[in-house]
Amino acid sequence: TRYLPDGKDLAESFPGSLEGSFAARLAHLFSTEIIDHMTHCLNIRSGFLHTYKLPQIYYHPEDTVAKNMAEAFGTSIIRPSQDKTGFFYSESGKPRLPTLVYEGGEANRSDEYTIKLGLRGIVRVMRQLEMIRIKPKVKGSPDTCHIAKNKFWIRSPLSGLMHQIKKVGKYVEKGEKLATITDPFGSTKHYDVTAPVGGIISAINTHPHVYEGQGIIELAELEKIPEPAFVEIPPVQPDIVSY
């Protein structure tokens, strides 16, 4: 999970302090004992509470080394991002070192697909950086990566119960129905949530009850791509050397 016992997100607590909250103290420890000595960074985190994220990679658009790392990692979707998250950025707004953010799954839930895909990607990046010398059993390049032009949340127009129609990873056309919001008190009133543009559903709210203005579906704007094969990631052991 991305959340600590005090409920705070570690990535949002940097640079931290010796006398702050638990998250601030842990962030300070990471900064002084680990981050100041790193040459490359791969941040791995889950999605939010009640939000399932399709495994994806972020990197700063000016970080060419990180872009090469992202392509080696091999997720279906990668996205250049200028979000200043946590310890990744200096005061000038640029990355302190080549940095990837791998995000997928849901907080407080073990998602086998996300874990195995992440582990495979980590080994690929380590091999690219010559940290390990494992030879892949299967020849060929990593999975084709597709760069998302833009990502945004579709917000609920009213409070009620959300009935999901399209699943995460599904490509949808502009105007296609994604979900329906209904009245929890039994009236026939309902509202259809549709896609404003064509793209991939990259994240979705997993809690049945939603409120007006809540982000319920995240859409990655890009051209149609093959849907992720959620069942094709082989077991972690003993086949890790094949990556």
| 131 in any annotated domain | yes
The verdict on 211 and 141 lying in the same domain is no
The verdict on 100 and 118 lying in the same domain is yes
pLDDT above 80: residue 136: no
The verdict on 130 and 193 lying in the same domain is no
> What is the domain-level CATH number for residue 191?
2.40.50.100
- Of 127, 146, 165, the residue that ends a domain is 146
- 81, 7 in Cβ contact below 8 A? no
Phi, psi of 97 (to 5 degrees): -160, 160
| 22 in any annotated domain | no
Q: What is the mean pLDDT of the chain?
A: 82
Give every CB contact of residue 71 below 8 A, 6+ residues apart in sequence: 78, 142, 145
pLDDT at position 122, please?
A: 93
pLDDT at position 222, please?
A: 79
| 227 in any annotated domain | no
- 239, 93 in Cβ contact below 8 A? no
What is the C-alpha separation between 124 and 134, in angstroms, rounded? Answer: 9
Percent of the chain topping pLDDT 70: 81
| 200 in any annotated domain | yes
| 198 in any annotated domain | yes
- 191, 177 in Cβ contact below 8 A? no
The token duo for 152 is 């945004």
What is the C-alpha separation between 160 and 27, in angstroms, rounded? Answer: 38
pLDDT at position 187, please?
A: 75
The verdict on 115 and 141 lying in the same domain is yes
The verdict on 108 and 200 lying in the same domain is no
| 23 in any annotated domain | no
The verdict on 167 and 86 lying in the same domain is no
* ∠ Cα 178 208 102 (to 5°): 70
- 3-state SS class at 102: strand
- 243, 124 in Cβ contact below 8 A? yes
Q: How confident is the model at residue 57 (pLDDT cuts 50, 70, 90)?
A: very high
The verdict on 49 and 140 lying in the same domain is yes
Whether omega for the bond prior to residue 208 falls within 30 degrees of 0, making it cis, is no
| 10 in any annotated domain | no
Phi, psi of 234 (to 5 degrees): -70, 170
pLDDT at position 235, please?
A: 47
The verdict on 62 and 107 lying in the same domain is yes
- Of 123, 146, 169, the residue that ends a domain is 146
86 or 29, higher pLDDT:
29
What is the C-alpha separation between 110 and 128, in angstroms, rounded? Answer: 28
Give the domain range for residue 93.
Answer: 38-146
Mean pLDDT of 29-54: 88
| 190 in any annotated domain | yes
Give every CB contact of residue 82 below 8 A, 6+ residues apart in sequence: 60, 61, 93
The secondary structure of 28-68 as a DSSP string is HHHHHHTGGG-S-EEEEE---TTEEEEEEEEE-TT-HHHHH
The verdict on 214 and 140 lying in the same domain is no
The verdict on 121 and 156 lying in the same domain is no
Please name the residue ranges forming H helices in the chain.
22-33, 64-73, 112-128
Domains held by the chain: number = 2
The verdict on 120 and 205 lying in the same domain is no
The verdict on 169 and 211 lying in the same domain is yes
- Of 89, 115, 146, the residue that ends a domain is 146
- 210, 181 in Cβ contact below 8 A? yes
Q: Per residue in 189-221, pLDDT tens?
A: 889 999 999 999 999 999 999 999 999 999 998
Q: Per residue in 5-26, pLDDT tens?
A: 888 888 778 778 898 899 889 9
